[in-house]
């Protein structure tokens, strides 16, 4: 027991004395939270929009007012001719332009139709599509309000009701994602690197030549990373709850059980990577390519898994992060009972058993 404590203490000293390790495991999680929360947001807000109005009448003015009032758009430019539009896109002054045809109000009144055109910069197709949707909704509802006395303009419109995240806040999506990513980073990558560092620096040779069992050596190396991961999880929860207003609807108990299980899976992955790598660089590359990147791209955090090609969907199933993120979304955001995430728990548990099995088999009590 005493040697176990000395080992753990030594491991903490390694971490505390290395500025870069400290930055990665304690500062990076916060930076990621803030980046995703405020900078890389997928929500649309304050998009610059340009107006080319050939009519300048009552109706166009009220549409423009509505657009201006909405939180999504800010009017940046008023154009006088079509030629100016192209220039404004190229100089990135705005990414959207509304063009009103001539005699807008009169045409609408007499011909029951009027010319309106939305020009969008589709170099980012997803954003363009969302913007056009928002804008068409605003225009549609304005026209509807203006014409509400006329019965002929009667039309059926679907009404969407968004459950669990009615405001479509992206923080509901990225908080579980950031947690999934950070734990893989701290547990799998940093642990594997710290174990391989002992091999590379030759200290593993001395440890193995001592009577201390290899299992003690490894387990005591994992403890600090386990503790730090828990601290990270709690920090992320506090930041997301108090600063970003993400609700915690489900049982805290089950959320923590899930986090602990996921931390254990990640730690075992770290051991596994350390048994196949001989250099720190190799451990870094393996964990970055096989774990970090897929945990970001294939976990459902950034892209929807169901719309991926089949082969990528298959790979995604093997990512612990995918199961963790799915379960934490259900527990935290939807607030479901633990029995609805049995599937995810089962998958993580199965992974843990397999990974520990392989690691123990591959683990050496000698140098080669």
Partner 1 sequence: MKAVRVNNISKAYKGKLALEDISFEVEKGELFGIIGPDGAGKTTLFRIMTTLILADEGEAKVDDYDVVKDYKLIRERVGYMPGRFSLYQDLTVIENLDFFASLFNTTVEENYDLIKDIYKQIEPFKDRRAGALSGGMKQKLALSCALIHKPSVLFLDEPTTGVDPVSRKEFWHMLKNLQKQGITIVVSTPYMDEANLCNRIALINNGEFLDIDSPQNLIKKFPKKLYSVEGDNMPKLLKTLRANDNIETCFSFGDCCHITLNNETKDNDYKEIQPSIEDYFIRLSK
- Residue numbers of the site for partner 1 (CB under 8 A)? 2-3, 6, 10, 13-14, 17-18, 201-203, 205-212, 365-368
Instruction: Tell me whether residue 3 or residue 57 sits nearer to partner 1 (CB atom).
Output: 3
Find out whether 78 and 50 touch, Cβ atoms under 8 Å: yes
Q: From the CB of 204, what's the least distance to partner 1, in Å?
A: 9
Would you call 202 helix, strand, or coil by DSSP? Answer: coil
Work out how close the CB of 274 gets to partner 1 at its nearest, in angstroms, rounded to a whole number. 17
CB of 14 to partner 1, least distance (A): 6
Q: Which is nearer to partner 1, 101 or 214 (CB)?
A: 214
Cα separation, 137 vs 143, whole angstroms: 10
Minimum CB–partner distance for residue 226 and partner 1 (Å): 21
Cα gap 197→190, rounded to integer Å: 10
Contacts of 106 (CB under 8 A, 6+ apart): 57
Q: In angstroms, what is the minimal distance from the CB of 203 to partner 1?
A: 5
Residue 1 or 163 with smaller CB distance to partner 1: 1
Q: Which is nearer to partner 1, 113 or 365 (CB)?
A: 365
Kindly state the smallest distance separating residue 262's Cβ from partner 1, in Å: 30
Cβ 363 to partner 1, closest distance in Å? 15
Write out the two tokens for 152: 């002929």
CB of 311 to partner 1, least distance (A): 36
Residue 92: C-alpha distances to residues 50, 80, 87, 118, 281 (Å): 11, 18, 9, 17, 41
The per-residue DSSP string of 271-296 comes to: HHHHHH-SSHHHHHHHHIIIIIHHHH
Burial class (CB in 10 A: 0-12, 13-18, 19+), 251: middle
State which residue, 209 or 281, has the beta carbon closest to partner 1.
Answer: 209
- Least spacing, CB of residue 18 vs partner 1, in Å: 7
- Helix, strand or coil, per DSSP, at residue 134: helix
Q: Which is nearer to partner 1, 199 or 330 (CB)?
A: 199
Alpha helices, DSSP H, located in the chain: 2-17, 19-22, 28-34, 58-69, 83-90, 104-110, 125-146, 171-183, 191-201, 203-208, 214-238, 252-276, 280-287, 293-297, 310-317, 320-328, 342-362
Q: Closer CB to partner 1, residue 19 or residue 149?
A: 19
By C-beta, is 2 or 161 nearer to partner 1?
A: 2
Structure tokens at 170: 């992206």
| 174: Cβ contacts below 8 Å, ≥ 6 apart | 36, 37, 301
**Phi, psi (deg, nearest 5) at residue 123:** -65, -25
Q: Which C-beta is closer to partner 1: that of 123 or that of 210?
A: 210
């Amino acid at each position: 027991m005493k040697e176990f404590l000395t080992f753990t203490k030594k491991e903490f000293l390694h971490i505390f004395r290395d500025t870069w390790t400290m930055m990665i495991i304690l500062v990076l999680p916060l930076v990621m939270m803030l980046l995703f929360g405020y900078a890389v947001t997928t929500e649309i807000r304050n998009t610059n929009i340009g107006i080319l109005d050939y009519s300048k009448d009552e109706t166009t003015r009220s549409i423009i007012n509505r657009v201006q009032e909405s939180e999504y758009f800010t009017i940046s430019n008023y154009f006088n001719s079509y030629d100016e539009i192209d220039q404004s896109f190229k100089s990135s002054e705005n990414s959207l332009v509304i063009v009103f045809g001539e005699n807008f109000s009169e045409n609408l009144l007499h011909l029951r139709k009027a010319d309106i055109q939305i020009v969008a910069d589709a170099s980012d197709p997803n954003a363009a599509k969302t913007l056009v949707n928002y804008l068409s909704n605003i225009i549609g509802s304005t026209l509807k309000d203006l014409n509400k006395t006329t019965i002929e303009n009667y039309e059926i419109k679907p009404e969407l009701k968004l459950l669990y995240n009615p405001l479509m806040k992206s923080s509901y999506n990225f908080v579980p994602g950031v947690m999934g990513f950070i734990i893989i980073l701290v547990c799998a990558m940093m642990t594997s690197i710290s174990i391989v560092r002992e091999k590379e620096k030759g200290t593993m040779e001395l440890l193995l030549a001592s009577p201390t069992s290899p299992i003690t050596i490894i387990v005591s190396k994992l403890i600090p990373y386990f503790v730090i991961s828990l601290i990270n999880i709690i920090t992320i929860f506090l930041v997301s709850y108090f600063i970003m207003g993400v609700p915690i609807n489900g049982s805290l108990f089950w959320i923590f059980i899930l986090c602990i299980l996921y931390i254990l899976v990640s730690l075992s992955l770290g051991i596994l990577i350390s048994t196949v790598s001989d250099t720190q660089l190799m451990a870094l590359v393996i964990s970055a390519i096989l774990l970090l990147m897929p945990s970001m791209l294939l976990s459902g955090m950034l892209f929807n898994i169901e719309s991926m090609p089949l082969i990528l969907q298959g790979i995604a199933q093997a990512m612990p992060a995918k199961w963790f993120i799915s379960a934490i979304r259900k527990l935290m955001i939807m607030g479901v009972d633990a029995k609805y995430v049995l599937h995810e728990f089962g998958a993580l548990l199965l992974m843990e058993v397999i990974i520990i099995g392989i690691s123990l088999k591959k683990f050496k009590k000698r140098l080669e």
